[in-house]
Chains A and B, each alone.
Chain A
Amino acid sequence: SQQGEEDPQALSIQEGENATMNCSYKTSINNLQWYRQNSGRGLVHLILIRSNEREKHSGRLRVTLDTSKKSSSLLITASRAADTASYFCATVRRMDTGRRALTFGSGTRLQVQP
């Protein structure tokens, strides 16, 4: 099963509104990352939050992490049409082998209407 599951699968909002996407995961993690994918393009790293952090900001992005609930949220404030994309959470955890593994969720498709 997916380590990270995003919710909702799809979200449509008006320009200027805030968009909130959630991610749940199953095992302990080192950090959680959010990526963005524009249609027809590769994924681009947006922001990272470590397991000992609860909240992080980067421009119009705000990420929260609740390790007790094994969940994270990504908030995009004052959305723009250019924010239209798919957003993926990815968890980094250390395997029994000692190596780290990064696992992507299924993504949220965000549509911002101008």
Chain B
Amino acid sequence: DAGVIQSPRHEVTEMGQEVTLRCKPISGHDYLFWYRQTMMRGLELLIYFNNNVPIDDSGMPEDRFSAKMPNASFSTLKIQPSEPRDSAVYFCASSQTGTSSYEQYFGPGTRLTVT
């Protein structure tokens, strides 16, 4: 398996622009998580899905952030409009029910810079 795939790996955009981050989870995994990592705030869980349904979005910072999972193999995280404080590395991770460990597999991340 190729692991969790994220695109793009790097994104530089200007304040006010829309940004869309993409994730393909590991095949067969039914949980998908979006995290944000910054030096100041560490690793923050933004939202997670189970069987394509959003379960907990309490970590989404504000209405400018939205996430979708139209099918089991694809998810997007959208920021509209983007702001400089959104600059961070965004990780997608997936996990599988039935493994009592609840181990998560992370993608390589998308480094977002908003100028």
Contacts and interface: CB of A to CB of B under 8 A. Distances in A.
Interface residues of B, number: 19
Contact of B109 (A42, A44, A92): A42
B31 to A, nearest CB: 10
15 contacts: A40-B109, A41-B109, A42-B106, A42-B108, A44-B106, A45-B103, A45-B104, A48-B101, A92-B101, A92-B102, A99-B55, A102-B104, A104-B42, A104-B45, A107-B42
Interface of A: 2, 30-31, 33, 40-45, 48, 88, 90, 92, 99-100, 102-104, 106-107
Given A99-B55, A104-B43, A42 B101 contact: no
A4 B105 CA distance: 19
Given A30-B100, A92-B102, A99-B55, 19 more contacts: A30-B102, A31-B101, A33-B103, A40-B109, A41-B108, A41-B109, A42-B4, A42-B91, A42-B93, A42-B106, A42-B108, A43-B104, A43-B106, A90-B104, A100-B102, A102-B102, A103-B45, A104-B45, A106-B42
Contacts of A2: 42
B25 interface: no
Contacts of B102: 30-31, 92, 100, 102
- Central interface residue in A30, A33, A41, A42, by most chain B CB within 10 Å: A42
B10 to A, nearest CB: 10
A43 B45 CA distance: 13
Query: Do most interface residues of chain A lie in helix, strand or loop, or is the interface mixed?
Result: strand
A99 B55 CA distance: 10
Interface in B31-65: 42-43, 45, 50, 55
Contacts of B101: 31, 33, 48, 92
A49 B51 CA distance: 27
Contacts of A33: 101, 103
A94 to B, nearest CB: 10
Nearest to A41: B108
Contacts of B42: 2, 104, 106-107
Instruction: Point out which of A30, A40, A100, A102 has the most chain B C-beta atoms below 10 A from its C-beta.
Output: A102
